[in-house]
Homo-oligomer: A and B are copies of this chain.
Amino acid sequence: MEKRLQEILNDAEKVRGYPVSVESLVRFLSLLIKYQPVDLWALIRHSDEYIRVVMGLFDALHNRNYVEVNESGQISLTKDGTSLAEEIGARALDESLLVDSGKYGLSLPPKFKEILDTMRKIYTEVVPKDNFDQAPLLPEASVYKALYITQRGDASGKYIVTVGDDDLLSLILAMTGEPKRVMAVDIDEQVLGVISECSHKMRLPVDVLQHDFRLDIPETFCGKFDTFVTEPPDTVDGITLFVSRGVQLLKKEPDKIGYCGISTTACPPNGIVQLTKNFAAMGLAVSTWLFKFSEYPPVRTELKHIEVPDFYDPFYPPSTVWYVSDLVRLKTTNSTNPLIKGIFRGNISDYEGDAKRFR
């Protein structure tokens, strides 16, 4: 039994070149027992594991006939898989209460429901661009995020800056009527065009600034904001860079707030460790970390480092939400300083590199 386990883990590691733990195998099987027959994307969504771990396990278990895939792409345990699960003590993982409680028990008040209706229309005007690593959240996810930010007291009367804004959060926050002003900063003129036009039509207190975050923040905007919000590329460098720029934009005072989206699907556990090191090195206190808060739409133009096994091609792209990010709230202290200053010459979309660095 020990040998069989070790073979599965070795196989799983080989598939994506990333190590896989016994515990990950147990959790994978526990989810399968609960949800089978289940779509690969639903499996990823229910898991909070790094994508390479899930894909490695899926492929290894499939190759060794512990799982089977039916004609509509639904995955189940085989007889061998079921006995494997029993042997290693994997039981049905029932996280239904967490899943059913939705957005951590929040529900949209009427004002936010109206905002959502408006945003659904506006979202169709933005075409995500692969070369900017863009992938907007679902409109609903963005509106819930704005609600959370508002409820934590980080919007009302504040100067807010969005560090990257293909989610159009600037418009949503401004539409709540809470912030004093919002500035949307993005590299993409088309996104800024949509924001400008809509804010003009709706007479919202929104400014736009075209900027590439690999370049330093222009001096005039440094130290001017109370709250920043960012949903960066899910690499350690990408997140560290965008949070650094956010910190530069905040007033140099304690107790200012930054929100950062981080996906554990795209960022390996050792990358998360490095990120918390970086946050601490910046003198930022983690204040809240809500796992799986923000959903991305099911169809993505760029699937990043997930490589779908050949035999799963007919069931791609996914038709359900599978990619979500955690919402992290950070608080400045009297020692807060950006980690990255000046021009950044690294690669903020090197998912392959992160998988190697953070094994």
A residues neighboring B (CB under 8 Å): 19, 21-24, 26-27, 30, 48, 89-91, 93-98, 101-107, 109, 147-148, 151-153, 156-157, 180, 226, 253-256, 264, 269-270, 272-274, 276-277, 279-281, 283-291, 326, 328, 331, 333-335, 359
Contacts and interface: CB of A to CB of B under 8 A. Distances in A.
Contacts of A102: 105
What copy number does this chain have within its complex?
Answer: 2
Given A288-B290, A290-B288, A23 B333 contact: no
Contacts of A105: 101-106
B24 A255 contact: yes
Contacts of A289: 286-290, 328
A106 B97 contact: yes
Contact of A276 (B90, B285, B291, B359): B285
A284 B96 CA distance: 26
A111 to B, nearest CB: 12
Contacts of A273: 280, 283-285, 333, 335
Nearest to A103: B105
A156 B23 CA distance: 12
A89 B48 contact: no
A90, A264, A276 pick with most chain B CB within 10 angstroms: A276
A104 B107 contact: no
B280 A151 contact: no
Contact of A98 (B101, B151, B269, B274): B151
Given A97-B147, A104-B101, A287 B276 contact: no
B157 A19 contact: no
Contact of A334 (B106, B270, B334, B335): B270
Contacts of A280: 273-274, 276-277, 280
Contact of A23 (B94, B226, B274, B326): B226
Contacts of A27: 153, 255
A153 to B, nearest CB: 4
A34 to B, nearest CB: 10
Contacts of A334: 19, 270, 359
Given A22-B253, A23-B256, A276-B280, A97 B151 contact: yes
A98 B152 contact: yes
A253 B286 contact: no
A269 B21 contact: no
Contacts of A156: 30, 91, 93
Contacts of A48: 287
